């Protein structure tokens, strides 16, 4: 992942002169570097199989940030605002020719993001939904997509209101936690599987490797796309489990400061990479250099933030589960979660997303949300600040009411995004708001 090792004999003053000459000979250099490459390949395979993510924080801080990229050796990558680039000879730019097609600040960010998912390529877009559109644009009219039934409301709206009616895509929305339903969902024209794990807002965990195997058995060319927004690459790396494309709403955990809207698509697949680059250039939903700078800066603390989100959220999930005013808590890291074993198998932890049913109706939910003082009643998630919302009338209002009822997105389902504040203050806030909304139990 972070590999800038060059085998240099002269670098070590501790070696004897003849030994240094020996090391410098071309054949020895070749042997050393191929052994090094072999060890890297071995390491990469092993790390993928074990789904472990060594050196994440170092990669987040250093990959793509080399001062040698810049004439002035800036340690912090500059914001490069120029929309165009001087060419010495017509048609032969040094690297970029126009900023929609490529920009140095965006390059820095994309290189860094690819490393975080341990992938070859990343392309960024002006929002998570723009990244979604860029990926879905690989499909043609008449193609079929198997989509999980419990995905981000905006992704559903895009498929139901744009792709299906306007562009002739076919889609089935399926519960991907039920493997028998997954087997039945594929058709001869199925070209893509799209899901989130854990899902939004019910935090259902999809067995990424198993669903991928079922899809590839049906047709090896089916592209498996995982929206990894809820986990961040720190806790889950879908490409290591067989997925083809990872999508992120960078707006959430990756930026983590609730001040940029951005998305990305990450892949190891050369054909998909060419498609994504073409989408940036030909469709044009690219992020600004300033936003790329902010996200690149936000990533420097991604590993620290994710650890804090996990620690706070696990304690809060346990508090809620023991609370008499709460019916059921949905948090994959709790042993009570229906897919807890799958969660443990494919992740390294869990983010700050918790959903729970309080004992009440719309009236109690609204009273609870309005009584919160540290948590802010707002949509979105993944920032350093704690948020709370009511999916049935906020984030998931665009899901058809009969589907909401079937899924369990009822008026007493609350979704919280646990931030990085002090745990005692968060629990005290939830406690006072629950007592004020539901005075007697």
Ligand X SMILES: *Cc1c(COP(=O)(O)O)cnc(C)c1O
Is there binding between residue 261 and ligand X (CB under 6 A)?
A: yes
d(CA 196, CA 398): 18
DSSP state of 241: G
Residue 384 a catalytic site member? no
- Do the Cβ atoms of 41 and 118 come closer than 8 Å? no
d(CA 82, CA 331): 45
Other Cβ atoms closer than 10 A to 99: 19
Is there binding between residue 279 and ligand X (CB under 6 A)?
A: no
Q: Near ligand X by CB under 6 A, which window of 97-105, 207-215, 226-234, 342-350?
A: 226-234
Name which position in 252, 305, 396, 404 contacts ligand X (CB under 6 A): 252
The contact pattern for ligand X, residues 124-143, with x = CB under 6 A and - = no contact, is ---xxx--------------
Among 227, 244, 291, 429, which one carries the catalytic annotation? 227
Among 106, 204, 237, 252, which one carries the catalytic annotation? 252
Q: Which secondary-structure segment (H or E) carries 124? A: strand 121-125
Q: What are phi and psi of 350, to 5 degrees?
A: -145, 150
Among 44, 100, 344, 345, which one carries the catalytic annotation? 100
Measured over the CA atoms of residue 175, residue 176, residue 181 and residue 184, the dihedral's sign is positive
Is there binding between residue 152 and ligand X (CB under 6 A)?
A: yes
Closest to ligand X by CB, 151 vs 326, is: 151
d(CA 255, CA 378): 17
Angle at 329 between CA 323 and CA 330, to 5 degrees: 165
Number of residues that bind ligand X (CB under 6 A): 16
Closest to ligand X by CB, 229 vs 364, is: 229
Give me the least distance between CB of 126 and ligand X, in Å please: 8
Q: How far is CA 356 from CA 89, 266, 330, 331, 340, in A?
A: 62, 31, 6, 9, 16
Closest to ligand X by CB, 303 vs 415, is: 415
Closest to ligand X by CB, 176 vs 326, is: 176
Give me the least distance between CB of 138 and ligand X, in Å please: 17
Q: Which secondary-structure segment (H or E) carries 245? A: strand 245-249
Is there binding between residue 251 and ligand X (CB under 6 A)?
A: yes
For ligand X, the binding residues in 384-423 under the rule CB under 6 A are: none
The packing angle between helices 104-116 and 289-299, to 10°, is 30
Give me the least distance between CB of 227 and ligand X, in Å please: 5
Closest to ligand X by CB, 204 vs 325, is: 204
Closest to ligand X by CB, 299 vs 438, is: 299
Is there binding between residue 154 and ligand X (CB under 6 A)?
A: yes
Closest to ligand X by CB, 316 vs 381, is: 381
Name which position in 110, 149, 227, 385 contacts ligand X (CB under 6 A): 227
Residues 6+ away with beta carbon under 8 Å from 48 = 118, 240
DSSP state of 240: G
- Do the Cβ atoms of 244 and 270 come closer than 8 Å? no
Give me the least distance between CB of 196 and ligand X, in Å please: 5
Name which position in 65, 103, 148, 249 contacts ligand X (CB under 6 A): 249
- Do the Cβ atoms of 431 and 362 come closer than 8 Å? no
**Residue written as tokens 């919160």?**
372
Q: Near ligand X by CB under 6 A, which window of 6-14, 108-116, 147-155, 365-373?
A: 147-155
Residue 440 a catalytic site member? no
3-class DSSP state for residue 127? Answer: coil
Closest residue to ligand X, based on beta-carbon distance: 128
Residue 97 a catalytic site member? no
d(CA 282, CA 31): 44
3-class DSSP state for residue 8? Answer: coil
284: left (phi over 0), alpha (psi -120 to 50) or beta: left
Give me the least distance between CB of 382 and ligand X, in Å please: 8
Is there binding between residue 229 and ligand X (CB under 6 A)?
A: yes
Closest to ligand X by CB, 65 vs 229, is: 229
For ligand X, the binding residues in 190-209 under the rule CB under 6 A are: 196, 200
Residue 157 a catalytic site member? no
Burial class (CB in 10 A: 0-12, 13-18, 19+), 231: buried
Q: What is the contact surface with ligand X in residues (CB under 6 A)?
A: 127-129, 152, 154-155, 196, 200, 227, 229-230, 249, 251-252, 261, 263
**Residues involved in catalysis:** 100, 152, 227, 252
């Amino acid at each position: 992942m972070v590999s800038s090792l060059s085998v240099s004999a002269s670098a070590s003053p501790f070696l004897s002169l003849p030994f240094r000459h020996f090391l410098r000979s071309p054949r020895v250099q070749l042997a050393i570097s191929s052994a090094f490459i072999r060890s890297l390949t071995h390491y990469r395979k092993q790390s993928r199989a074990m789904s472990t993510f060594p050196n994440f924080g170092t990669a987040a801080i250093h990959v793509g940030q080399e001062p040698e990229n810049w004439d002035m050796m800036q340690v912090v990558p500059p914001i490069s605002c120029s929309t165009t680039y001087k060419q010495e000879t017509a048609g032969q730019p040094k690297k970029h020719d126009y900023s929609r097609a490529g920009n140095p600040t965006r390059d820095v960010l994309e290189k860094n993001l690819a490393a975080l998912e341990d992938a070859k390529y990343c392309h960024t877009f002006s929002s998570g939904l723009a990244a979604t559109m860029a990926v879905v644009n690989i499909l043609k009219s008449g193609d079929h997509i198997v989509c999980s039934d419990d995905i981000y409301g905006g992704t559903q709206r895009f498929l139901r209101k744009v792709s299906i009616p306007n562009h002739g895509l076919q889609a089935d929305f399926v519960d991907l936690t039920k493997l028998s339903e997954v087997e039945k969902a594929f058709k001869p024209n199925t070209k893509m599987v799209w899901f989130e794990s854990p899902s939004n807002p019910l935090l259902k965990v999809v067995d990424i490797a198993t669903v991928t195997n079922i899809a590839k058995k049906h047709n090896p060319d089916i592209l498996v796309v995982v929206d990894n927004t809820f986990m961040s690459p720190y806790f889950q790396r879908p490409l290591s489990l067989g997925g083809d494309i990872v999508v992120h709403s960078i707006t959430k955990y990756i930026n983590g400061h609730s001040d940029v809207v951005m998305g990305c698509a990450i892949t190891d697949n050369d054909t998909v990479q060419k498609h994504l680059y073409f989408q940036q250039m030909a469709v044009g939903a690219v992020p600004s250099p300033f936003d790329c700078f902010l996200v690149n800066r936000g990533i420097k603390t991604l590993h620290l933030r994710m650890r804090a989100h996990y620690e706070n959220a696990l304690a809060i999930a346990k508090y809620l589960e023991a609370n008499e005013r709460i019916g059921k808590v949905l948090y994959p890291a709790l042993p009570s979660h229906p897919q807890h074993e799958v969660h443990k198998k494919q992740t390294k932890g869990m983010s700050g997303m918790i959903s729970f049913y309080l004992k009440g109706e719309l009236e109690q939910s609204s009273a609870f949300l309005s009584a919160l003082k540290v948590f802010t009643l707002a949509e979105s998630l993944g920032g350093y600040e704690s948020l709370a919302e009511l999916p049935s009338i906020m984030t998931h209002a665009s899901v058809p009411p009969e589907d909401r009822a079937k899924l369990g997105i009822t008026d007493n389902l609350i979704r919280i995004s646990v931030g990085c504040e002090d745990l005692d203050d968060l629990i005290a806030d939830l406690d006072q708001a629950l007592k004020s909304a539901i005075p007697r139990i």
